[in-house]
Amino acid sequence: MDGVVVMGSDGVVLDWNHRAEEIFGWPRDEIVGQEMGSHIIPAQHRQAHIEGLKTYFATGDGPLLQRRFEITALRKSGEEFPIELSISPIVRGDQTIFLGFARDLSERRAAERVLELQTREAVLLHQVTTLAAETSSRDEALKLCLESVCDLTGWPAGHAYLVGPDGVATSAVWVGDPQGFEALHHALTVARTTQTGLPQQTFQPAAPCWIAEVSADDPMTRSPQGEDFGIRAAFGFPIVIADEVVAVLEFFSPVPVAPDPNLLLSARTMGDQVGRVIERRRVQDHQALLLAELDHRARNMLAVVMAMAAQTARATTSIDEFKTSFFSRLNAFSRAYGLLTAKNWRPTSLESLVTALAEPHLGKDRPQLEISGSPLMLPPKMALAMSMILHELLTNAAKYGALSTKTGAISLTSGLERRPKGDIARLEWRERGVPGLVAPAGFGFGTKLIETSIRHELGGHVTTTYGPDGVEYTFEFPQPL
């Protein structure tokens, strides 16, 4: 296993075995007779080699003789590599030769480096995983991930972007020496879209990107003012949650670096742990939002019910009348609320709202109600207000109007109109088949509720017209967003 090198007292190679040929790359017939120091001893050790020979011949002893030690040597190719070496002097009469046994440590050192890297990787991954399980701080998790990847790869700078739904990548966390990368650090603190630099190359395919050598004309290497960022290699990868890129982690090196799939895989594994923190933070924020929204809606609902009860009480003269009117309105409010809940409090269509409220008043085929026009989607708040308006219209129609006779019919037409001051929604409620219907002498609670709701809740107005065959209501309010 050892290369055997025989050197004379003058430093010239006297012999060289086959294993030495393999280790150092010099064939025996080329190296024998050559000065050993200039061929296999690195420049930084040559003076010590000369001084050691002088010490031996002056004292009969040398600091490196008769023991094993580790040092570096040179191959014929010029590569410097580690060896284990032992040197023994042999004296025959007045002639002294030195017998050296050299063992190549390259493979062992490489294995040690791999083991060291794996150990460090395991430790760092454990730290990131532990933090991800315990913290809800997104920035803390990002910082540890960036530091861990820089530690693992030896790259001096790392940076994390958070990607918003609009595709804008906002600077979140930076690690590294701000002095060595001051211009880069400053440039990265400015929000940019995912259509530039590493965010572009990692965001679109949602895949890692490694640039082994950044070209000099790449915008990534210089600021708009021409200042060199000092970047010669870069790699980045996305953090993905439910098929959505939520962050981009990027790293920079001042020297070209060949891609290392294993390191990139380790970096992505750590990034996945950060994704857990971001996802948990999203869930917590969403839960807090839901609780706040639930509290807000409950308060609003109670306020509406209390106002409804108070107004109904003022407009009735007996408990039975109050019960009938109040429970009817409460039921309409409940139907609208249930419809919005089924839609997860997203905008609901006017048609579905009318259908739900009109069901108790109509037959199965709804022959007395016709809905036409452009579809109109109402946000939750507007839908609740419109439900109260529609309930009053349906109640009045059932008592006195089109639904109180077998020949009566209602048509509801919706549409959007462009106006100089902004687009508006227009609803036309027409009741036919009710001859002799005249405008009331006074306004009841239902009429007041309709006018109050359209004015205060929808920001619009209503026009009521009584004709020879029925009544018509025209509602106009700003277009729902």
Q: What domains lie within the chain, and their CATH numbers?
A: 3-104 (3.30.450.20), 109-276 (3.30.450.40), 317-478 (3.30.565.10)
How far lies 443's CA from each of 84, 315, 316, 450, 451, in Å?
A: 107, 11, 14, 11, 10
The sheet carrying 424-432 orders its strands as 369-373, 409-417, 424-432, 470-478, 461-467
How far lies 264's CA from each of 16, 215, 366, in Å?
A: 44, 21, 64
- In degrees and rounded to multiples of 5, residue 443 shows phi and psi of -105, 125
CA distance 348 to 346: 6
Measuring CA to CA, which residue among 204, 147, 193 is closest to residue 174?
147
Burial of 279 (0-12, 13-18, 19+ CB in 10 A): middle
Burial of 449 (0-12, 13-18, 19+ CB in 10 A): buried
Q: Which pLDDT belongs to residue 101?
A: 96
- For residue 425, the 8-state DSSP code is E
The sheet carrying 192-193 orders its strands as 192-193, 168-176, 157-163, 244-253, 233-241, 209-211
Angle subtended by helix axes 261-314 and 138-153, to nearest 10: 170
Residues in CB range of 207: below 8 A, 6 or more apart:
237, 238
User: For 182, what's the count of Cα atoms within 13 Å in the CB-facing half-sphere?
Assistant: 3
Tokens for 394? Answer: 């349906």
How far lies 64's CA from each of 12, 49, 347, in Å?
A: 18, 10, 85
Tens-binned pLDDT, residue by residue, of the chain (481 aa): 799 999 999 999 999 999 999 999 999 999 999 999 999 999 999 999 999 999 998 888 888 888 999 999 999 999 999 999 999 999 988 889 999 999 999 999 988 888 887 787 788 778 878 877 777 788 888 888 888 888 888 888 888 888 876 666 677 888 887 677 787 887 777 655 544 566 666 656 677 888 888 887 777 777 767 777 888 888 888 888 877 888 888 888 888 999 888 878 888 888 888 888 888 877 777 788 777 766 765 675 666 567 667 767 866 788 888 888 778 767 776 776 676 676 666 888 888 888 888 877 775 555 788 999 998 998 888 888 888 888 888 888 888 888 888 888 999 999 999 888 888 999 999 999 888 777 777 667 677 878 888 998 889 999 999 888 899 999 999 987 6
- For residue 65, the 8-state DSSP code is B
Determine the distance from the C-alpha atom of residue 15 to the mean position of all C-alpha atoms in its chain, rounded to a whole number: 65
Measuring CA to CA, which residue among 155, 235, 232 is closest to residue 201?
235
In the three-class reduction of DSSP (H, G, I as helix; E, B as strand; rest coil), residue 417 is classed as: strand
Task: Count the neighbouring beta carbons within 10 Å of the beta carbon of residue 114.
Answer: 11
Measuring CA to CA, which residue among 153, 140, 142, 169 is closest to residue 252?
153
**C-beta of residue 380 within 8 angstroms of C-beta of residue 336:** no
pTM here? 0.50
In the three-class reduction of DSSP (H, G, I as helix; E, B as strand; rest coil), residue 473 is classed as: strand
Tokens for 5? Answer: 């090198």
Task: Count the neighbouring beta carbons within 10 Å of the beta carbon of residue 241.
Answer: 14
How far lies 314's CA from each of 300, 310, 311, 319, 388, in Å?
A: 21, 6, 5, 11, 18
Q: Which pLDDT belongs to residue 429?
A: 94
CA distance 356 to 378: 15
Determine which helix (DSSP H) or strand (DSSP E) holds 12, and give its type and residue range: none
CA distance 230 to 222: 8
CA distance 159 to 249: 6
CA distance 82 to 299: 77
> Which residue(s) pair with 162 in the sheet?
170, 247
Buried b (16+ CB within 10 A) or exposed e, 360-373: eebeeeeebbebeb
Residues in CB range of 188: below 8 A, 6 or more apart:
159, 171, 174
Q: Which pLDDT belongs to residue 204?
A: 62
Angle subtended by helix axes 380-399 and 350-358, to nearest 10: 40
**C-beta of residue 247 within 8 angstroms of C-beta of residue 274:** yes
Q: Cα-Cα-Cα-Cα dihedral of 184, 190, 191, 195, to 10°?
A: -40
Q: Which pLDDT belongs to residue 343?
A: 66
Concatenated DSSP letters of 341-405:
HHTTT--EEHHHHHHHHHGGGS-TT-TTEEEEES--EE-HHHHHHHHHHHHHHHHHHHHTSGGGS
- In degrees and rounded to multiples of 5, residue 439 shows phi and psi of -65, 135
In the three-class reduction of DSSP (H, G, I as helix; E, B as strand; rest coil), residue 431 is classed as: strand
